[in-house]
Chains A and B, each alone.
Chain A
Amino acid sequence: MMNVLEKTAEIFRAYSGSSIYMTLFLCGLLYLWITEEDKGKKTVLVYSSACILGIFFLPGISYLLLNYIFDGETYYRILWFLPVSLVVALAATKLISLQRNTWRKVVLGLLACVIIMRGGDYTYDNPTFQKAVNAYHIPREVIDVCDEIIPENEDNWVCAVFPQEMISYVRQYSANIHMPYGREVLITRWNLWHPMYQTMEAGIIYAKTLARQASEAGCHYIILHQDKVFDEDIEQYGYLLIKNVDGYHIYENHIAELGIDLYQKDDE
């Protein structure tokens, strides 16, 4: 039971981070609990929040929820049901509305804004936010490369292997492009290893190994950044360079037409 309590406390800390919003929320709850005369508002905002916190922390309930409904990764979602913004905003507005002097209202209002802004963390300064280059919110080179390989007939599909930086976006653009592995290989905690991913992301790419793995996975195309280095020319193994698009080489599978037997070559 102590373990569960420690775990929930850890999840709570990870959820709250370094911002003061949870403290503000608890102060807001206390303020509303003391000053609010309307039983309804108290029940819906204060008591319900207390219940949610109780459910979150109470060892018996949290043990059941953690083990049978949620898991360590999703348990924090219970905290979404705490009306943090609502309670803080309501408490601040109520406090301001009680002031009779207009200037005092203005000063208090500005002070509340400053506390909220200084106490939190600005969302848009996250480096992951970037100016969108198109309405898809997908990097331009992904779209250009995909446009090059998408089959003309909408009912057909092609299989292609992409470098790590493109994996997450390709199928957001077109479901007609299949991949031998997807985003699952990027999530280390999932431990889903794929041999071709290892080959693709190695410092020096073993051309023969890649050609064989791609051919076995049924890949019509291999996409690689032009700066990637092969140990030998991959074209001799049937993947021919057909185009360079935005700095990415597109290699097309011609193994069958050229009559290359990758396994026989290996034996030689």
Chain B
Amino acid sequence: MWIQALSVILWLVIIPFCLGLSATRWIRKEYQNITMIMVMGYFIMLAAFQVIYLPFVVFYNHFMPLVYVYGVSMAVLAVISLIHNGRYWISRNHECVMKRFGTKNQNNQNQKSKSRKTLTGNLSTGFLWLVVFGLIGFQIYKKIFYQFHDGDDAFYVVTSVITNTMKNMYLYLPFTGESSVLDKRHAFSAAPVFISFLSEVCGIHPTIMTQTIYSVFILIFVYMIYKLIGDLLLPKEYVPLFLIFVNLMNIFGNATIYTNSTFLLTRTGQGKAFLGNIIPAASILGLLLMWKNLQRNQNLDVYLKEIENPVIHANLKHEIMAPWVLLSFVMVTAVYTSLAGILLSALLIGGVTVVCAVTYKKLRLLLPCMISMIPLLCIGLLYLKILL
């Protein structure tokens, strides 16, 4: 039991955290926080799984080698990322602490006069955060202790169970168990196989993994992304209020069986919930980050021309590329859920980028957008190869 719990923490908390340290380092300092690290880490992990999984399912179709290759590469990458970025994050943390407390000492006088107001503000913000955690906790409680019968589980959950039992992928019919040829329509979606991977490395039955652990992970993942979007769109003190509204919209969003909120709370473990909730929100997050860079760089253009410091130039280049890296991961992860995800995410990201490029008269913006779509193109070509 303890080993299983520790394995879950290792694979869903520690490894994504270590992986996220690397990509988040490139993001602008004001947006670097633990939530961003975790979200980045999850996307790296899922996109990497999709990329490693595809050749396995198409050309080799054995599950255990996939588990070893992916498991070892993620563990090694996590350790490298921790060693490589650890020092940066320690100094960054120190910088943040100094900034917070240093400023406090300097502006002691000012603070006294404002302290009352700040205290009230802090209390109300704290209360709102409590409500946010309460609402998320309520959804997690319902997810773990209540069951929702959905017929599609007989396909998706069973695919995970088959993968785990038969040690191959999409070669058996989920409904009956008959052996078959590769199910081309669904084989590109790695979501059920990823759940099998988690259950293999954690020693937990795939159905338990899907219905409780993975579903809770998805819920937390969704709200983490919304928190980051809130950080980008609103002043800090209004973020919890924004999150309360988002939570309520989801809890009361069961207008029909088709809404993404319904999928999130009832069919959480299925790839469709991921496609309908995480991919659009993460695309918007990446696009907002890209836009913030664009806005800032508009003012920086003159400044950059005047200075010739290579370190600043390199840092800025990384900052400019970071949202595209995230968007690229998001697009690859869209395939993780469904092939339709390729088209939908590419439409959203490509469309907004074109609008941005026209609005700011910066056609060079289209280049990173196209580069970030290269993985999608490769996946599309692979799909065509299988079909023909």
Q: Taking the complex as formed, is B207 at the interface, i.e. its CB lies under 8 A from any CB of chain A? A: yes
- Could you tell me if B149 and A168 are in contact, using CB atoms closer than 8 angstroms? yes
- Could you tell me if B249 and A89 are in contact, using CB atoms closer than 8 angstroms? yes
A132 to B146, CA, bound (A): 5
Q: Taking the complex as formed, is A193 at the interface, i.e. its CB lies under 8 A from any CB of chain B? A: no
Chain B 95-116 interface 0/1 with A at a Cβ cutoff of 8 Å (1 = within):
0000000000000000000000
Q: Taking the complex as formed, is B35 at the interface, i.e. its CB lies under 8 A from any CB of chain A? A: no
How far is the CB of A246 from the nearest CB of chain B, in Å? 17
Q: Which residues of A contact B (CB under 8 A)?
A: 14-19, 21, 38-41, 43-45, 47-48, 51-52, 55, 69-70, 74, 76-86, 88-90, 92-94, 96-97, 109, 112-113, 116-117, 119-124, 126, 128-133, 135-138, 154, 157, 159, 167-169, 171-184, 186-187
Please give me the residue from chain B that is nearest to A88 by CB atom. B249
A128 to B295, CA, bound (A): 48
Residues of B within 8 A of A (CB-CB), count: 83
A129 to B157, CA, bound (A): 18
A89 to B250, CA, bound (A): 11
Q: Kindly identify which residue among A90, A128, A171 contacts B174, using a CB–CB cutoff of 8 Å.
A: A171
A175 to B355, CA, bound (A): 49
A14 contacts which chain B residues (CB < 8 A)? 256, 258
Q: Taking the complex as formed, is B74 at the interface, i.e. its CB lies under 8 A from any CB of chain A? A: no
- Could you tell me if A40 and B288 are in contact, using CB atoms closer than 8 angstroms? yes
- Could you tell me if A175 and B165 are in contact, using CB atoms closer than 8 angstroms? yes
18 additional contacts (CB under 8 A) given A44-B284, A123-B265: A17-B256, A19-B253, A43-B355, A43-B356, A51-B355, A74-B340, A81-B283, A84-B260, A93-B238, A112-B245, A122-B254, A129-B146, A131-B147, A167-B154, A172-B161, A175-B164, A175-B166, A179-B175
- Could you tell me if B207 and A83 are in contact, using CB atoms closer than 8 angstroms? no
Please give me the residue from chain A that is nearest to B152 by CB atom. A183
Interface pairs A-B: 6 shortest CB-CB: A182-B175, A120-B252, A40-B291, A19-B255, A178-B177, A89-B245
Question: Looking at the complex, which of B10-18, B39-47, B274-282, B310-318 is the stretch in contact with chain A?
Answer: B274-282
SS of A interface (majority): helix
Chain B 166-202 interface 0/1 with A at a Cβ cutoff of 8 Å (1 = within):
1000001111111000000000000000000000000
B173 contacts which chain A residues (CB < 8 A)? 182
Please give me the residue from chain B that is nearest to A119 by CB atom. B252
A15 to B258, CA, bound (A): 6
B146 contacts which chain A residues (CB < 8 A)? 124, 129-132
A51 to B347, CA, bound (A): 10
A129 to B281, CA, bound (A): 27
Question: Looking at the complex, which of B64-72, B86-94, B228-236 is the stretch in contact with chain A?
Answer: B228-236
Q: Taking the complex as formed, is B292 at the interface, i.e. its CB lies under 8 A from any CB of chain A? A: yes
- Could you tell me if A179 and B145 are in contact, using CB atoms closer than 8 angstroms? no
Most chain B C-beta atoms within 10 Å of own C-beta, residue among A17, A84, A119, A120: A120
A172 to B147, CA, bound (A): 14
- Could you tell me if A171 and B255 are in contact, using CB atoms closer than 8 angstroms? no
Q: Taking the complex as formed, is B212 at the interface, i.e. its CB lies under 8 A from any CB of chain A? A: yes
